Amino acid sequence: MSSIEKIIIPEDSQLEYWELEPIYLGHIEEIHCFKAIPPTLEWNFATSSRVYPTIYVPVEHYSTYANAPIWKDFTIKTIIK
């Protein structure tokens, strides 16, 4: 399986629900999400040995992601748009 190093979700994305299999998370290093409201994130077959990519969000949306279910489990770093 090849590596997906970075996923970018633009501010105007229509993504509201995202379902990821844990096998893919081990290949994603960064997720840059510019949406003000975090998409609902669902992990199927999740185990205790999850690999979490780093999430980059605009500084003004940090607290929203830091308090959102599942997203709060990631390392969240801020970026300036």
- Single pTM value for the model: 0.79
- DSSP annotation of 63 reads H
Backbone angles phi, psi at 8, to 5 degrees: -115, 125
Q: What is the pLDDT of residue 26?
A: 67
Q: What is the pLDDT of residue 13?
A: 94
Q: With pLDDT > 70 as the criterion, what percentage of the chain qualifies? A: 77
Least confident residue range of 50-54, 61-65, 77-81: 50-54
Q: What is the pLDDT of residue 4?
A: 72
- Per-residue pLDDT tens digits for 23-56: 666 678 899 999 999 999 876 655 545 667 899 9
Q: How open is the CA angle 77-80-81, to the nearest 5 degrees? A: 125
